[in-house]
Amino acid sequence: MSTPVFSPLQRTPLFDLHVSLGAKMVPFAGYEMPVQYPTGIIREHLHTRERAGLFDVSHMGQAFLDGDDPARALEQLTPADISGLKEGQMRYALLLNDSGCIKDDFMAARLEGERPLYLVVNAGTKESDFAFIAERTHGAAHLIPQPTRALLALQGPKAESVLSNHAEGVAELGFMRVRRLTVAGRPAIVSRSGYTGEDGFEISLDAGDAEYVARVLLADPDVLPIGLGARDSLRLEAGLCLYGHDIDEGTSPISAGLAWVIGKRRKLARDFPAAEKIMAELFAGTSRKRVGLKLADKTPAREGAEIVDGTETIIGRVTSGGYSPSLGQPIAMGYVATESAADGTEVAILVRGVPRAAVIAPMPFVPHRYKRKSGD
Amino acid sequence: MEERFTESHEWIHLDGDIATVGITKYAADQLGDVVFVELPEPGKQFKAGAEAAVVESVKAASEIYAPIAGEVTESNSALTADPAKVNADPEGEAWFFKMKLEDASAAQKLMTKNQYTEFLKGL
C-alpha cells in the first residue's frame, strides 16, 4: 500500500485491487472506496441477487471488548441481550446515547471459547463509537480496536458454495452464527451475516491476507466485485437502515421499528439508557414511524424529499430513496406520522416540487433469503 | 452539421436555428446506469443555462441545462421509455430534446469538439 503521508483519505488493504479491477473510487466515510466497477451498479446488484458478490467493507470498525464480563459492561450502552449471546452467536444491536436515541447500529458476537466480544461498527462513526465504548465501560472492560483487520462480505445465493470451496465448516454455520475458520489457508473470523438481504458471509482477515483471499474468491466464475452503489440499493431493497440517514442520534429505536433489538430480559430489567422513555414509547407508540414507500411512476424520490397526504399536508420525509434494480421501480424509506403509516396508505412524495403518487409498503421490498439452521 | 459542447457536458448539434441537445459520453459514464429521465414539454422556453431536463442514475439526480436560449420543439420520448439508452448511445440515439434557438450565433461561444476534448483532459 502506498498511502501518501498527508493523504486526507484512508485506503483499505484492497485499494490496489479495486483500482486494478477498474473501480470508480469515491470518498466515503474518510476512505477512498469503490462505488462501482465497470460492470455497473444495476448488473452488480442483480448479480448479487442471482449469484454472488464480493464487497470490501474494511472501512468498517472492528474491535474486541475484553474484561471480566464484557457483555455486562456493554449492556450499559445497548438494549440488546449481549449476555445472552451463546458461543458462536452474533447479534444486531444499537448503541444508545443518554437520551435513548441511536448513536450507532452494530454487530456483537461471542466467539467459541473466547472471552472478548467481537464488535463491528459503522465506518463513519467508528472513532466516536470506540471512544464512547472505551469511556463508558472504563474499569469494567477494555476496548481493543482492530484497525489492521480487513473485512470482506460475500453475498448471494452462491455464497455458500463458493466459500465452501475454500473453507471447511461453512455449510454448518447458520444465519447470525460466527466462527474462526481458515479461508484459503488464512485465519479468518467468518459470520453468516450481511447487508443485502441475501444469504452470505462476512469474513474478517488480517490486512496482509485480504487481497489474497479476495483474489481467490473473485477467481470463482460465480463471483463479481461489487461496489458501494449496489451495496446501498441492495440494503434498501432489504429494508435495512443506513446509519446517518435512516437512523441517527435523534431517532428512537421504537420510531425506527427496531424494538425487536431490545432483549426480553432487558425489557423486564429496564437497565439500558433511557429505558423508561423507550419502554413508554414501546407501549404507547411514537408520533412517527419508519416506513417503506413504493412510487407509482418511474420518478425516483431521494433523501430529504417531503411526503404529503391527500391534502398536501407534509406528513414526513424520505430518508433513503432510489431505484430498485430488482423491482424495476423507485422505492424509498422514510418517516411519516403514525396515523399515515399503515401499509397501503396512499401518499405523495414531492420530487422537484411535483407530488408523485406513492403507497406505504411493507419492508423488505425484496424478501430476505437468510439460511437459518434449526435451533437458531 | 455543427457540433458544440458545454462545460456541464451537454452536446449540441446545430441545424440552422434548431439545436438537438444531449449529454456527452463522459457525462453518461460519470452518471453510471441511468434509470430515469424527465424531459421538457414542447413549447417550453428556456434562457441559456436554465434547468431543462433531469437525468437520474441509480445513485443520484443531475440536471441538464439549456445550452442556449430558445423554445423546446420536441423531446425524445424513446428515452423516457428506455432511459438505459443514455448509457448505450449518449451522443447518438439518446438525444434529450430539440429547441428552436433565439439566436443561433450564440452557439459560437460554446466549445468545439477539440476544445471539449482538451477541457476533459484538465478534469
Q: How many domains does chain B have?
A: 1
**Best to test chain B binding among A35, A36, A42, A237 (most B CBs inside 10 Å):** A42
Stretch 35-74 of chain B: residues touching chain A, C-beta under 8 Å: 35-36, 38, 54, 56-61
CATH number at residue B60: 2.40.50.100
CATH number of A287-366: 2.40.30.110
Q: Is the pLDDT of residue A2 over 70?
A: no
- Backbone dihedral angles phi then psi of residue A252, each to the nearest 5 degrees: -90, 145
Give residue limits of the domains in chain A.
15-58+148-237, 287-366
**Residue in A368, A129, A86 with CA at minimum distance from that of residue A244:** A129
Terminal Cα-to-Cα distance of chain B (whole angstroms): 27
* Identity of the residue in B54, B58, B80 whose CB atom sits nearest the CB atom of A42: B58
In percent, the amount of chain A with pLDDT more than 70 equals: 97
Percent of chain A with pLDDT over 90: 96
Q: How far apart are CA B19 and CA B68, in angstroms?
A: 9
Q: Which tens digit of pLDDT belongs to each residue from B86-117? A: 999 999 999 999 999 999 999 999 999 999 99
Ordered DSSP codes for B24-45: -HHHHHHH-SEEEEE-PPTT-E
| Residue A161 in grid coordinates | 458454495
Residue B66 lies in a domain: yes
Q: In the prediction, which pLDDT does A200 show?
A: 98
DSSP label at residue A170: T
Q: What average pLDDT score do residues A199-209 get? A: 98
Instruction: Give the helix ranges, DSSP H, for A247-331.
Output: 264-269, 275-284
Q: How many Å apart are CA B6 and CA B16, to the nearest integer? A: 19
Q: A323 and B60: CB-CB below 8 Å?
A: no
CA torsion through residues A54, A57, A58, A63, sign: negative
CATH of A15-58+148-237, one of 3.40.50.720, 1.10.40.30, 3.30.1360.120, 3.50.50.60: 3.30.1360.120
Q: Is the pLDDT of residue A263 over 90?
A: yes
Residue A209's closest CA among A150, A130, A161? A150
Cβ B3 vs Cβ B62: under 8 Å: no
pLDDT at position B1, please?
A: 75
- B123 occurs within a structural domain: no
Cis previous bond, A221, omega within 30: no
End-to-end CA distance of chain A: 41
Tens digits of per-residue pLDDT, A43-58? 999 999 999 999 999 9
Q: What are the angstrom distances between the C-alpha of A100 and each of A121, A125, A270?
A: 18, 17, 12
| Cα(B111)–Cα(B95) distance, integer angstroms | 18
Q: What is the ipTM of this complex?
A: 0.87
Going by pLDDT thresholds of 50, 70 and 90, the confidence category of residue A376 is: low
Q: Domain residues for B57?
A: 2-102+111-117
Tell me the per-residue pLDDT of A95-153, one tens digit each, with 9 for 90 and over.
Answer: 999 999 999 999 999 999 999 999 999 999 999 999 999 999 999 999 999 999 999 99
Is B122 inside any structural domain? Answer: no
pLDDT, average across residues A20-27: 96
Distance CA A80, CA A296 (A): 37
Query: Which residues between 103 and 162 in chain A have a beta carbon less than 8 angstroms from any beta carbon of chain B?
Result: none
**pLDDT at A301 exceeding the cut of 60:** yes
* Residues in chain B with pLDDT values less than 50: none
- Residue-wise pLDDT for A335-368, tens only, equals 999 999 999 999 999 999 999 999 999 999 999 9
Mutate to test the interface with B, among A25, A26, A35, A41 (most CBs of B within 10 A): A41
